[in-house]
Structure 1
Amino acid sequence: VDSALGSTGAEGQPPAAVPLYSMAYALYYNKQMFADAGIDAPPATWDEFVAAGKKLSKDGKWGTAMEGSNPSENVHHAYVFAKQHGADFFTPDGKPDFTNDGAVTAVKQYVDLMAKDKIIAPGNAEYAQNQSVSDFAKGRTGMLLWQSASANLTSQGMSEDAYGIAPVPVQSGTPGAGTQVNSMVAGINLAVFKNTDNLDGATEFVKFMTSDTEQKILNTAYSSIPPVKAAQADPAFNTPANAVLKDTLAKSAVALPQVPDESQFETAVGTAVKELFADAAAGRPVTTDSVKAALTKAQQQMPTK
């Protein structure tokens, strides 16, 4: 699948690895809570998402939950918001560009779900261990933005009939190419080093792991999507939930930046967002200036060439 290959190396260069399994973000929503709140359909835009969240945030329950102390989750959402605003965190030649207007707007929009819109409980600023999934599974929140969550929700006792799944909202409401991306692809890949002592054995192992049979076993266990097209055709991956994930991967997902310093980017920007969530939880203002200052600090932490 093209989006999976996009996470296997530098753009325009041959893949440096082989995709093993694919995950996409989706919007999971509690059907009963939606019905009780008079919400007829899952939100397609972020404005609709906030409006739904406000209707759901009552009687000790909240619209949604976030892993505010998890840098990886933070950077995933920040990156998707940035792409929706037509922005990126790196210039075309790979230099960090964390403080451009689109990136600042994106991070602020994300943190504002707690700071301004107040559809996320302040305590979520400390979440880092999948607590948001647990809150959703236990009916404490009405919506969840997560990657391939079905197996996780089932393990926590939530019936598949209790929730629906829809594409992650975008600015306009229509997922598609360009700025309407609504999921990132990080890349769970296999690579073989050229200097391996057993090149033939390693290559055979890659072939085995990406074979149709093994892809079905692996991705069924993880409720993920096979990056191998032939394996995707198996009935196990044609459920309504998987249809949303497959469509997202095929049409509106993009790889995280394929740059040498990508891991440092995740840590720096993810931590900046964590600190902004802490401000929001404490009632400190989250402004365009404060977001830009946090991203400036993050950029200063990136390696210099």
Structure 2
Amino acid sequence: MRAARVAAVGAVTLSLVLSAAACGGGTNGGGSNERPKTLTYWASNQGASIEVDKKVLQPELDKFEKQTGIKVKLEVVPWADLLNRILTATTSGQGPDVLNIGNTWSASLQASGALLDWDDAAFQKIGGKDRYVDSALGSTGAPGKPPAAVPLYSMAYALYYHKKLFQEAGIAKPPTTWAEVTAAGKKLKAKGRNGIGVEGSNLSNNIHQVFVLGKQHGADFFTPDGRADFTSEGAVKAVKQYVDLMAADKIVAPGNAEYAQNQSLSDFTKGRTGMVLWQTAAATFKAQGMADDAYGVVPAPVQSGAPGTGKNVNSMVAGINMAVFKNTRNTEGALKFVKFMGSDEEQRILNKAYGSIPPVKTAQEDPAFNGPATAPLRQTLATSAAALPQVPEESQFETVVGTAVKELFAEAAAGRPVTGASVRAKLDKAQQQMPKK
């Protein structure tokens, strides 16, 4: 899911047992035995604004109606509202037929029992599971269970660097390791720029960064049987390394501790910051008036060597999935709509519009997904990205550990020391807030 667009997942406890009462929003004007001729669709806000999303999506929905006779009633829901809206729908009976979900929510929402299971038979109705990239399928639900959703847009983190600021600072090539990031950041600071941007108040982005650093230090934050494991040596090292970009390396401006979604991107496009670690940022940069040739894109950094599996994972598998409520009154129509949105043609159209990567293999063959801004993302998803823990408590993980990182950034911004002991104490407090197993 997009890190910048999920600012407030944490107020909700997804491990509650939710009732999935009468969620289908499709309606018709005929008798109760007729299939509804209208599907309701909650789309996540992927573009620079809700209006942009409507302009992107509505022509495609009109195309679907022309092909099938099924009208799709669109509502674009802001990320800050989406999860709460979904949970309310599972209990109120007032919800959509089809909806977008952040892929990190898949296992949590699956545990609610509200979503249609995508077993082999359901996948066959939309062309088969083998059409999808493995990394995208890895973020569709708990291991060993049928997926709760279907991949729609795939994203990955990359390091974006400001070409003019790099040239002014005498940085010859973009960094590929964390040591090189720090060295480049210090050269940028010497020229009066910020080295790299973070968003200390963006809980989801905090999680995405420390999850990847955790992988690089051999930590997963959860044990194989799904128990929280936030205080391992690797987890402590990961969080400390991230916060130390401000606390010790001094390449992050103290004000970044208060930054929420997209504020670090604004600093980058305005030339105040030389680097930003972000997922699929090209469309946002364009919307903010930054020319495509003003920045470069390279794979996100690792500790040493080249990105890959194991300790050289350099991104979480980010993205958006499509799900269907079990109680839709038009399952057949909902499946047709998911198949339509996952067709090669629509995958090319929609992912081009949003600067994301199609999770459908054949759609990735379009040259548009092998350009300077997209090739590193595609490569990362294929070779060096890992899915966030697919456990029902994932949203609580984002909340409690994301908040711990936020508090540590606040300590660093205030000039107070951030030590291994202080990091461990914050993570221990976070672990105590998790459900006991």
Q: Given the two structures, how large is their TM-score scaled by the length of structure 1?
A: 0.97
| CA distance, structure 1, for counterparts of residue 291 and residue 149 of structure 2 | 36
Q: Is the 8 A contact 1:28 1:165 kept in 2?
A: yes
Question: Alpha-carbon deviations, 1:185-212, whole Å to 9, x = none?
Answer: 1441112344432211111111011111
Question: Alpha-carbon deviations, 1:93-124, whole Å to 9, x = none?
Answer: 00000000000000000000000000000000
Note the 1:93-242 alignment, pairs <5 A.
93-242=225-374
> What is the identity percentage for the equivalent residue pairs of Structure 1 and Structure 2?
73
Q: Is the 8 A contact 2:212 2:314 kept in 1?
A: yes
**Aligned residue in 2 for 1:251:** 383
- Cα distance, 1:45 vs structure 2: 0.7
**Aligned residue in 1 for 2:138:** 6
Question: Alpha-carbon deviations, 1:156-180, whole Å to 9, x = none?
Answer: 1111111110000001131011111
Q: 1:22 aligns with which of 144, 151, 154?
A: 154
Q: Give 1:121's aligned amino acid.
A: A
Q: Is the 8 A contact 2:169 2:191 kept in 1?
A: no
**Aligned residue in 1 for 2:218:** 86
Q: Is the 8 A contact 2:269 2:288 kept in 1?
A: yes
Q: Give 1:291's aligned amino acid.
A: V
**Aligned residue in 1 for 2:392:** 260
In the alignment, structure 1 residue 67 sits paired with structure 2 residue 199:
yes
User: Does 1 or 2 have the higher relative contact order (CA < 8 Å, sep 6+)?
Assistant: 1
SS of 1:28's partner is strand
Q: Give 2:352's aligned amino acid.
A: T
- Cα distance, 1:129 vs structure 2: 2.7
Provide structure 1 residue ranges, at least 5 long, that are not aligned to the other structure.
none
- Cα distance, 1:59 vs structure 2: 4.4
SS of 1:63's partner is strand
| More deviation, 241-250/192-201 | 192-201
| CA distance, structure 2, for counterparts of residue 193 and residue 123 of structure 1 | 42
**Aligned residue in 2 for 1:275:** 407
| CA distance, structure 1, for counterparts of residue 329 and residue 436 of structure 2 | 34
Question: Alpha-carbon deviations, 1:108-145, whole Å to 9, x = none?
Answer: 00000000000000000000031100000011011110
SS of 1:22's partner is strand
Q: Is the 8 A contact 1:187 1:255 kept in 2?
A: no
Q: Give 1:231's aligned amino acid.
A: A
What is the aligned residue count? 305
In the alignment, structure 1 residue 304 sits paired with structure 2 residue 406:
no
Q: Give 2:159's aligned amino acid.
A: L
Structure exhibiting the larger radius of gyration computed from Cα positions: 2
Q: Is the 8 A contact 1:68 1:128 kept in 2?
A: yes
Provide structure 2 residue ranges, at least 5 long, that are not aligned to the other structure.
1-132
Q: Give 2:280's aligned amino acid.
A: S
Q: Is the 8 A contact 2:237 2:420 kept in 1?
A: yes
| CA distance, structure 2, for counterparts of residue 290 and residue 211 of structure 1 | 50
Q: Give 1:257's aligned amino acid.
A: P
| More deviation, 2-11/56-65 | 56-65
Q: Is the 8 A contact 2:135 2:386 kept in 1?
A: yes
Q: Is the 8 A contact 1:70 1:128 kept in 2?
A: yes
- Cα distance, 1:36 vs structure 2: 1.7
| CA distance, structure 1, for counterparts of residue 351 and residue 294 of structure 2 | 23
Q: Give 1:132's aligned amino acid.
A: S
SS of 1:240's partner is coil
SS of 2:395's partner is helix
